[in-house]
Amino acid sequence: MAKSQATFMKKQLEKNRQKKKEDKEQRKQERKQNATSGDLESMLAYVNEFGEIVSTPPEKKQA
């Protein structure tokens, strides 16, 4: 006798769930490895004398 179709579908659904879970875990690990630091210095931006946005702070002018 052949196995029932319901049993086969249950196994397929479980395989799909497991694969989806593994893919999600892999994406999580990739994000963790490629994460940039969230410190304040990396998020700051400055505007120079020409109105352009730059990542370096302006130099102090001595009067």
Q: How far apart are CA 32 and CA 25, in angstroms?
A: 10
pLDDT of 63 above 70? no
Which residues are CB-contacts of 46 (< 8 A; sequence separation ≥ 6)? 53, 54, 55, 56, 57, 58
Which helix (H) or strand (E) covers residue 10, if one does? Answer: helix 5-33
For 2-46, how does the pLDDT look when each residue is reduced to its tens digit (9 = 90+)? Answer: 668 889 999 999 999 999 999 999 999 999 998 776 777 778 899
Which residues are CB-contacts of 44 (< 8 A; sequence separation ≥ 6)? 55, 57
pTM over 0.75: no
Which helix (H) or strand (E) covers residue 47, if one does? Answer: strand 46-47
Residue 29 confidence (pLDDT): 95
